[in-house]
Amino acid sequence: MTTMNLTIETFGAATRGDGIVLVDFWAEWCGPCRAFAAVYEAASDRHPDIAFAKVDTEAQRELAAAHRITSIPTLMVVRDGVLVYKEPGALPAAQLELLIEKARELDMDDIRRQIAETEN
């Protein structure tokens, strides 16, 4: 599956809906980013029900700053509009698969309840 290239204008719409969205913050000059790109693309082929997106931090500096991206690559996972994971570092294929599996297993009703409790 082809990954979406997100911009400051498209990021919100892409991550607010139902389902799982993986977002890879990267830059062309970043060696680990280029290495992770192959792993990321392969995962997108294996999981057509998940949206895979990329943010070029050089072209989208404002978007990267808004999400406090200080190290790349950084992978973000959003499920049903809720940020459930954000960590820097290139993951090996097996770890990315495990992360996807864990994202699928999340009880989003419980997560929303926990968020509501911390906001009160």
Catalytic positions are 30, 33
Report the C-alpha gap between 19 and 74 in whole angstroms: 20
Q: How far apart are the first and last CA of the chain?
A: 40
Name the phi and psi angles at 110, rounded to 5.
-65, -40
Give the pair of three-digit tokens for residue 106. Answer: 């999340």
What is the Cα gyration radius of the chain?
14
Report the C-alpha gap between 12 and 40 in whole angstroms: 21
